[in-house]
């Protein structure tokens, strides 16, 4: 949608990914587009104002999120029909646990051109750092904050044979790790924190180890939590017995077998037979 001769932009909606901490990660193409659009739809005009200042351009900023009124959405779409309009979020890729889905859907329905400029997304950065299988992964957005709902999501997604990626907040991290230790025993986790920033770290291991580290050093900043798929680590017969014994303290043999199967990827029927022996 960029005219090759004069770098003017065709009308339409431009989804523009922005840095998640390091301004050097703004792509040259993203900067070119942000300088050329008629307006930038953004979550927070102060945050995006700083980004625009960084690229030395003052653009018209229009606050937008998926709860915006129909009038705001219609206004943006009218504009995008005649001019280039960018959509950004505070950080990272729009629509990835961020606003934009409704706007993109409507723009496409109305035949307005939509294009996306790829760039940083914390989920992908974390996945590349975690050292866990990356051939198949499931992005789960934010886990629910209430314990019961969080447990249900972990139970449901924990059965999927894929690495799981969640956005998390520092104050909730330890509670979530405790839930993982209880509901998905034996699954390695990685905590990727402050990605692309000065204090970037990625700490991986058994949830119990990570819990004790962050109990001693309360986490700060932004966090992505990555959970190994079931069976990523080969479970020995002794380890399986230990997990079954622990689960049998609170659960019936069938439930214990299901829980250990979910955590390890081992066969549930074989685990059930073994659970009856151990009971």
Binding site for ligand SAM (CB under 6 A): 20-21, 89, 91-93, 96-98, 121-123, 167-169, 192-197, 222-224
Extract long-range pairs of 197-201: CB within 8 Å, 24+ residues apart: 197/21, 197/22, 197/221, 200/21
3-state secondary structure of 86: strand
Which token pair is 272? 């059930």
Nearest distance, CB of residue 168 and ligand SAM, angstroms: 6
For the CA atoms of the chain, what is the radius of gyration?
Answer: 23
Nearest distance, CB of residue 100 and ligand SAM, angstroms: 9
d(CA 178, CA 214): 12
Q: Which residue is nearest to ligand SAM (CB)?
A: 92
Q: Which residues of 146-179 are buried (b: 16+ CB within 10 A; e: fewer)?
A: eeeebbebbeebbeeebbbbbbbeeebbbebbeb
Q: Which of residues 21 and 186 has its CB atom nearest to ligand SAM in the complex?
A: 21
Q: Which of residues 180 and 261 has its CB atom nearest to ligand SAM in the complex?
A: 180
Nearest distance, CB of residue 169 and ligand SAM, angstroms: 6
End-to-end CA distance of the chain: 66
Nearest distance, CB of residue 172 and ligand SAM, angstroms: 10
User: What count of other Cβ atoms lies within 10 Å of the Cβ of residue 44?
Assistant: 13
Which token pair is 217? 């050093």
Nearest distance, CB of residue 216 and ligand SAM, angstroms: 21
Nearest distance, CB of residue 75 and ligand SAM, angstroms: 23
Q: Which of residues 42 and 266 has its CB atom nearest to ligand SAM in the complex?
A: 42
Q: Which of residues 93 and 176 has its CB atom nearest to ligand SAM in the complex?
A: 93
Q: Which of residues 83 and 197 has its CB atom nearest to ligand SAM in the complex?
A: 197
Q: Which of residues 38 and 96 has its CB atom nearest to ligand SAM in the complex?
A: 96
């Amino acid at each position: 949608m960029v005219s090759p001769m004069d770098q003017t932009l065709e009308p339409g909606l431009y989804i523009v990914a922005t840095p998640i901490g390091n301004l050097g990660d703004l792509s040259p193409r993203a900067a070119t587009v942000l300088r050329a659009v008629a307006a930038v739809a953004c979550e927070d005009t102060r945050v995006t104002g700083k980004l625009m200042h960084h690229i030395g351009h003052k653009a018209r900023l229009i606050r937008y999120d998926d709860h915006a009124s129909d009038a705001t959405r219609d206004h943006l779409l009218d504009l995008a029909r005649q001019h280039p309009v960018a959509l950004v979020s505070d950080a990272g890729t729009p629509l990835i646990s961020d606003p934009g889905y409704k706007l993109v859907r409507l723009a496409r329905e109305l035949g307005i051109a939509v294009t996306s400029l790829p760039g940083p997304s914390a989920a992908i950065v974390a996945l590349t750092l975690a050292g866990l299988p990356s051939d198949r992964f499931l992005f789960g957005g934010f886990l629910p904050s209430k314990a019961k709902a969080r447990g249900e999501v972990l139970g449901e997604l924990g059965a999927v044979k894929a690495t799981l990626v969640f956005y998390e907040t520092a104050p909730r991290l330890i509670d979530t790790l405790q839930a993982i230790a209880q509901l998905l025993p034996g699954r390695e986790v990685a905590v990727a924190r402050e990605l692309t920033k000065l204090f970037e770290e990625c700490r991986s291991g058994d949830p119990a180890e990570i819990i004790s580290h962050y109990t001693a050093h309360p986490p700060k900043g932004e966090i992505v939590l990555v959970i190994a798929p079931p069976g990523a680590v080969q479970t020995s017969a002794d380890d399986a017995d230990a997990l079954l014994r622990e689960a049998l303290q609170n659960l019936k043999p069938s439930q214990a077998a299901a829980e250990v199967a979910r955590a390890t990827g081992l066969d549930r029927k074989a685990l059930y037979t073994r659970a009856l022996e151990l009971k």
